[in-house]
Amino acid sequence: MEPGVVKTEALLVTKEPYYEPQGDEILLFESAYRNQIPVLLKGPTGSGKTRFMEHMAWRLKRPLVTVSCHDDLTASDLVGRYLITAGDTVWVDGPLARAVRIGGLCYLDEIVEARKDTTVVIHPLADDRRVLPIEKTGEVLCAPPDFGLAISYNPGYQSVLKDLKQSTRQRFVALEFDYPPADLEKRIVDHESGVGDEAAGKLVRFAAMTRNLKGSGLEEGASTRLLVHAAKLMVSGVGAVAACRGAIAQTLTDDPEMLAAIHELSASLF
Amino acid sequence: MADLKPLTAAELEDWLDEELDAALSLRRTSHTAATSLASLDRDQQDFARHWVGIIAKTNPELAYHFANRAAEGLRRMAEDDALAWIIQAMDVYDKMGLYPAIAALSEIEAFAALRAQRSRTVTLEEIGPVLELFLQGLSGRRLKLEAGESAFTDTTHITLPAAIALLPTRRENLRLYKALAAHLWAQTWFGTFPGDQPARLLTHCQSLPDAAYARDLFHALETIRLDACLARELPGLYRELRALQNRPPLPTSWGPWITRLEALHATVDDTYQALDALYGEPLPAPHPYQGMIDAQAVAAALKERMEQERVALQNALKTILEGQASAPDERQRVVVRKDETGRPDLAFAPDGQPLMVPPDVRALMQSIAQDLGDIPEEYLVAAGDGAYAADNAKKPEDVWKGTYHEEGAFHYNEWDFKRQHYRKEWCVLRELDVHPVHEPFVADTLRKYAGLAARLRKTFEALRGENAILRRQKQGDDIDFDALVQGFADLRTGRELPDGLFLHNRRVARNIAVMFMVDMSGSTKGWINDAERESLVLLCEALEILGDRYAIYGFSGITRKRCEIYRVKRFEDPYDDSVRSRITGIKPQDYTRMGVAIRHLCGLLSGVEARTKILLTLSDGKPDDYDGYRGEYGIEDTRQALLEARRDGIHAFCITIDTDARDYLPHMYGPANYALIDDVRKLPLKISDIYRRLTS
């Protein structure tokens, strides 16, 4: 792949990504997309937001451009910038501009991590104007009807710095994600890893135990993603307790007392 | 020094007489103590004398008892063990008073034996936090861990022995602790004590000829049932329990009952039936991890909790329903739905609207369901207006007794420099609101310092973080076309293309959170208080321009049991009229116990996300409180609190008007972290200046 030039086909999701709906989120997303309303995905980390986007891109047969936002992400990182080649300047689209041009789905993951001014760039795209002004080239990109915008954020951080402005959030249809109910989560863990029904059930119970500890020293309980990781380790022959320690306990916390407690929990369960 | 000759009994007696004067009388002399101490070598004597002196400052009577036992203690124990013996006795004194402390001192043999087995001993203090998290993770009602004589649960608390050294290695004793805790948890989780009959076990046992035997037999049978539950639900834990079992197999006549108790759907009813059937059989040896059953404590705790939780839930439902758009009719029932594990999860209003159930109410519902298997219908009627209200009158003096210390009161350790140890949970602190006063004080101040305020505004505006575009950078967000054109010109003339061709957009963001800790002790009365308030007004105006996050808290109090923190402005409060009226309302109160105030405010400050965190103290003198918190003790505790703050990445700075401050402030805050203002009236002028220097 050449830098900056990605073929549209490469972004198409060709194989169906595994996704178990928790509610009516697929219908909601499809309706919002058809009505050209952008979508906000809320939910804790590892609850399936990104997988859901991949699944929707596959369903809608649109290319998916994913941007993982970080705290140094600037507007030009999204829109594009000039590069110099052979004594000349060349304009290169950023991921957002590219998604607008090809009429794809643009997914800005963890939008609150980006700088405050960056979120404003998406405002004209996120209301009925559906345009992306590119200051530096003087262009105004009009989004085709195929273009869809989705952003995600984790309301659990509870930090004043990491909150979405009302002017941003009120442009979106919001879908809430949470850890799936135990039966469904068990099915997901089993399907993703092939660890078997019984072990998956135990992992889900273990996750519930860590979620009981949320607020008492743990910021978050174990996410479904972590369970899948642990299950994959178990399938590769790692012992259950060791897998829980490596894939779950150690990733959740560094606090020795909390680690000891989580370890005792997994040792009790398996 | 080691060659010094031991002191003689006479010398020691003279010294003791002076030191212990308050505890001695004609009939009670220091003769015995002196004679016994004279037999020690000089190092030991000095150690004993050192501690006699320190203990005498806490309590002369205790020191007298120590002097009498020091020789024996030092003969039996090495110095670090003896030190632990002393510190333990002083902790007992702090918590329980003189006589228990004397008793603790006299148990030298027991203590020495305990120290000897320390290598294998596990204490609840060290493992408690882990066990508490472990139990919470296992799910169910939050059980409070307490230290006690034996292991039992009243279904609200789990009491565990303060230390376990039963088994030969530390590792095994750790296992035993966990097994005890988990087994007691199982009693609360697998329905040993159903909530609808709080006194069932008690009355059942009393109806039989030998109540104590009946209770123990019930316990043995119930343990069989619970072990089977644990084997199903937590096989890993069960393996550990098995490793701890060491009793001979049970008689074959028990066989059918064991099968029944181990069945999947066995309940405590089966246990009662087994109890009646097997009554008279010899008791099997108890498992080491099964603890005890205290039927009376269970009955009392259950009865109390059922009533409390019913009232609490009804009141909570009332509050929730009041928030709903449709006004609730009287005596309407809320409908509760369960999640797939059978725990109450969602609630619906009588009209079918889903209710937002706050986490604490959800925990309450789950606790009720844990006791009763379900939430009874009468619980789900929101409390009416005239309904019985729980007696919420809480007396401030109850706070330090621990009656309701989780609510609103905080406990903090305090550093005792003489012992070089913390006094645990020594101070009780509460947050209070400053009573707002609506006077034109703020407007007056701004008028009075109009010129200064304008100047401050300018200097602070200049400080405000601004975007700066840096040119000719090696990397950046955009191309520096000027540099590029020049670079190409250079290139054409055969020179190298310079590497700085980018614009870098640098944001000089201020990311500061500052906590103002204002002395509200009685000594600030008058000028100082006025100056403090004026300074706060000017600072707030300036800080609003800067956009730094800031909070203002006052501190005062009297004795360790009544430390008070006054909220003037929290971090999240905007600077508005209510804050202004609270600044106006800052009034001198009592004493200056600084350490606990610093610990509390630093805790608040740590919760704020900021690159730089500053604790700025406005004070008029040394730390000082009624109950011995003065002189070196107060200074050392304050210093220790500041060291803790620094460890948490908080910069502490002190502005004081005490002219003697040079003697102690450098020791407390460090040489460059304080400012001394000789004239109170200059405080408002200086403080903004100091703040600017501090943060730029």
Q: Of the candidates B405, B373, B406, B390, which has an alpha carbon nearest to the alpha carbon of residue B313? A: B390
The share of chain B scoring above pLDDT 70, in percent, equals 88
What is the C-alpha to C-alpha distance for residues B644 and B412, in angstroms, rounded to an integer? 13
**DSSP notation for B317-364:** HHHHHHTSSSPPPTTPBPEEEE-TTS-EEEEE-TTS-EE---HHHHHH
Query: Residue range A160-177: average pLDDT?
Result: 78
CA distances from A49 to B56, B187, B574 (A): 66, 40, 35
CB B130 to CB A262 under 8 A?
A: no
Contacts for B49 with CB less than 8 Å, ≥ 6 apart: B15, B19
Q: Of the candidates A61, A62, A60, A69, which has an alpha carbon nearest to the alpha carbon of residue A29? A: A60
Q: What is the pLDDT of residue B388?
A: 41
Rg of chain A taking only CA atoms, in angstroms: 21
Are B570 and B669 found together in one domain? yes
Are B545 and B622 found together in one domain? yes
CB B236 to CB A270 under 8 A?
A: yes
Task: With beta carbons less than 8 A apart as the criterion, state whether B445 and B530 touch.
Answer: no
What is the C-alpha to C-alpha distance for residues B354 and B347, in angstroms, rounded to an integer? 6
Q: Residue A92: its chain B contacts at CB < 8 A?
A: none
Output B237 or A215, whichever has higher pLDDT. B237
**Does B30 fall in a domain?**
yes
Q: Is 70 exceeded by the pLDDT of residue B114?
A: yes
Backbone angles phi, psi at A201, to 5 degrees: -60, -40
Count of A–B CB contacts within 8 Å?
78
Q: What is the pLDDT of residue B608?
A: 84
Task: With beta carbons less than 8 A apart as the criterion, state whether B37 and B70 touch.
Answer: yes
Query: Residue range B385-412: average pLDDT?
Result: 50
CB B138 to CB A212 under 8 A?
A: yes
| C-alpha distance from B231 to closest chain A C-alpha (Å) | 10
**Does B125 fall in a domain?**
no
Number of domains present in the structure of chain B: 5
Q: What is the pLDDT of residue B403?
A: 42
Sorting pLDDT into bands at 50, 70 and 90, what band is B389? very low
Q: Is 90 exceeded by the pLDDT of residue B138?
A: no
In this complex, is the C-beta atom of A84 within 8 Å of any C-beta atom belonging to chain B? yes
In this complex, is the C-beta atom of A183 within 8 Å of any C-beta atom belonging to chain B? yes
Contacts for B89 with CB less than 8 Å, ≥ 6 apart: B62, B66, B101, B104, B105
The share of chain B scoring above pLDDT 90, in percent, equals 4
B671 CB-side CA count, 13 A: 0
Q: Residue B479: its chain A contacts at CB < 8 A?
A: 81-82, 84, 89
Residue B437: other Cβ atoms inside 10 A? 14
Write the pLDDT tens digit of every residue in B451-491.
Answer: 777 777 777 776 665 566 778 888 877 788 888 888 888 88
Sorting pLDDT into bands at 50, 70 and 90, what band is B391? very low
In this complex, is the C-beta atom of B586 within 8 Å of any C-beta atom belonging to chain A? no
What is the C-alpha to C-alpha distance for residues B567 and B587, in angstroms, rounded to an integer? 12
Are B34 and B84 found together in one domain? yes
Are B533 and B644 found together in one domain? yes
User: Mean pLDDT across chain B, nearest whole number?
Assistant: 81
Interface test with A, best of B127, B131, B132, B133 (most A CBs within 10 A): B133
Output B187 or B1, whichever has higher pLDDT. B187
Residue B51 CB burial class (10 angstroms; 0-12, 13-18, ≥19): buried
**Does B61 fall in a domain?**
yes
Q: N- to C-terminal Cα distance for chain A?
A: 46
CB B236 to CB A87 under 8 A?
A: no
Q: What is the pLDDT of residue B74?
A: 86
| C-alpha distance from B652 to closest chain A C-alpha (Å) | 24
Q: Is 50 exceeded by the pLDDT of residue A160?
A: no
CB B478 to CB A266 under 8 A?
A: no
Residue A26: other Cβ atoms inside 10 A? 16
What is the C-alpha to C-alpha distance for residues B34 and B16, in angstroms, rounded to an integer? 7
Pick the last residue of a domain from B478, B507, B536: B507
Write the pLDDT tens digit of every residue in B313-333.
Answer: 877 777 777 665 455 454 556
What is the C-alpha to C-alpha distance for residues B255 and B261, in angstroms, rounded to an integer? 10
In this complex, is the C-beta atom of B594 within 8 Å of any C-beta atom belonging to chain A? no
In this complex, is the C-beta atom of B385 within 8 Å of any C-beta atom belonging to chain A? no
**Does B376 fall in a domain?**
yes
CB B340 to CB A181 under 8 A?
A: yes
Range of the domain at B525: 512-695
| C-alpha distance from B482 to closest chain A C-alpha (Å) | 13
Sorting pLDDT into bands at 50, 70 and 90, what band is A147? very high
**Does B141 fall in a domain?**
no
Q: Which of residues 445-504 of B touch A (CB under 8 A)?
A: 477-479, 484, 488, 501
CB A160 to CB B609 under 8 A?
A: yes
In this complex, is the C-beta atom of A242 within 8 Å of any C-beta atom belonging to chain B? no
A90: nearest CA in chain B?
B479
Sorting pLDDT into bands at 50, 70 and 90, what band is A227? very high
Task: With beta carbons less than 8 A apart as the criterion, state whether A248 and A226 touch.
Answer: yes
Q: What is the pLDDT of residue B553?
A: 92
Residues paired with A50 in a beta bridge:
none
**Does B619 fall in a domain?**
yes
- Torsion over CA: B122, B125, B126, B131 (sign): positive
**DSSP notation for B625-641:** -TTS--HHHHHHHHHHH
Q: What is the ipTM of this complex?
A: 0.74
Are B640 and B523 found together in one domain? yes
Place of tokens 């565990």: B160
**Extents of the domains making up chain A:** 8-176, 182-269
User: Mean pLDDT across chain A, nearest whole number?
Assistant: 86
Query: Residue range A213-223: average pLDDT?
Result: 81
Are B565 and B608 found together in one domain? yes
Q: What is the pLDDT of residue A244?
A: 92
Contacts for A250 with CB less than 8 Å, ≥ 6 apart: A259
What is the C-alpha to C-alpha distance for residues B104 and B99, in angstroms, rounded to an integer? 9
**Of A160, A181, A268, which has the smallest distance from its Cβ to B236's Cβ?**
A268
Q: Is 60 exceeded by the pLDDT of residue A4?
A: no
What is the C-alpha to C-alpha distance for residues B453 and B447, in angstroms, rounded to an integer? 9
Q: N- to C-terminal Cα distance for chain B?
A: 53
CB A182 to CB B609 under 8 A?
A: no
**Of B182, B479, B484, which has the smallest distance from its Cβ to A268's Cβ?**
B182
Query: Residue range A86-108: average pLDDT?
Result: 88
**Spelled out in words, what is the top-level CATH class assigned to the domain A8-176?**
alpha beta
**For residue B425, is it left (φ>0), alpha (ψ between -120 and 50) or beta?**
left
Enter the tokens of residue B46. 């000095």
Q: Is 80 exceeded by the pLDDT of residue B54?
A: yes
B488: nearest CA in chain A?
A87
Alpha-carbon dihedral B655, B660, B665, B668, rounded to 10 degrees: -130
Write the pLDDT tens digit of every residue in B485-542.
Answer: 888 888 888 888 888 888 887 666 677 888 889 888 888 787 788 888 888 888 888 8
Query: Residue range B1-29: average pLDDT?
Result: 82
Are B493 and B558 found together in one domain? no
Q: Is 60 exceeded by the pLDDT of residue B434?
A: yes
pTM comes to 0.58
Enter the tokens of residue B262. 């181990």
Pairing, β B163-164 against β B122-123:
antiparallel
CA distances from B265 to B75, B191, B232, B339, B371 (A): 60, 12, 12, 20, 17
Q: What is the pLDDT of residue A144?
A: 92
Pairing, β B152-153 against β B157-161:
antiparallel
Task: With beta carbons less than 8 A apart as the criterion, state whether A200 and A239 touch.
Answer: no
Q: Is 90 exceeded by the pLDDT of residue A236?
A: yes
In this complex, is the C-beta atom of B130 within 8 Å of any C-beta atom belonging to chain A? yes
Sorting pLDDT into bands at 50, 70 and 90, what band is B410? confident
Are B484 and B584 found together in one domain? no
Q: Residue A213: its chain B contacts at CB < 8 A?
A: 133, 136-137
Q: Is 80 exceeded by the pLDDT of residue A170?
A: yes
Are B658 and B518 found together in one domain? yes
Task: With beta carbons less than 8 A apart as the criterion, state whether B380 and B335 touch.
Answer: yes
- Torsion over CA: A87, A90, A94, A95 (sign): negative
Interface test with B, best of A162, A179, A268, A270 (most B CBs within 10 A): A268
Q: What is the pLDDT of residue A12?
A: 83
A267: nearest CA in chain B?
B236
The share of chain A scoring above pLDDT 70, in percent, equals 93
Query: Residue range B233-253: average pLDDT?
Result: 86
Output A229 or A45, whichever has higher pLDDT. A229
**Of B136, B234, B488, which has the smallest distance from its Cβ to A216's Cβ?**
B136
Enter the tokens of residue A233. 């380790």
Q: Which of residues 67-106 of B touch A (CB under 8 A)?
A: none
Residues paired with B617 in a beta bridge:
B517, B654
Range of lowest pLDDT (A83-87, A88-92, B185-189, B306-310) = A83-87
Q: What is the pLDDT of residue B370?
A: 80
Tell me which range, A146-150, B243-247, B562-566, B627-631, is most confidently predicted by mean pLDDT. A146-150
**Of B182, B234, B341, which has the smallest distance from its Cβ to A182's Cβ?**
B341
Are B495 and B528 found together in one domain? no
In this complex, is the C-beta atom of B122 within 8 Å of any C-beta atom belonging to chain A? no
Q: Is 80 exceeded by the pLDDT of residue A47?
A: yes
Sorting pLDDT into bands at 50, 70 and 90, what band is B405? very low
CB B479 to CB A181 under 8 A?
A: no
Interface test with A, best of B124, B132, B134 (most A CBs within 10 A): B134
Are B492 and B607 found together in one domain? no
SS3 content of chain B, % helix, strand, coil (to 5): 50, 15, 30
In this complex, is the C-beta atom of A164 within 8 Å of any C-beta atom belonging to chain B? no
Contacts for B475 with CB less than 8 Å, ≥ 6 apart: B502, B504
Are B613 and B564 found together in one domain? yes
Place of tokens 């590119």: A134
Rg of chain B taking only CA atoms, in angstroms: 33
In this complex, is the C-beta atom of A23 within 8 Å of any C-beta atom belonging to chain B? no
B688 CB-side CA count, 13 A: 28
| C-alpha distance from B305 to closest chain A C-alpha (Å) | 22
Q: Of the candidates B195, B213, B188, B197, which has an alpha carbon nearest to the alpha carbon of residue B275? A: B213
What is the C-alpha to C-alpha distance for residues B463 and B446, in angstroms, rounded to an integer? 21
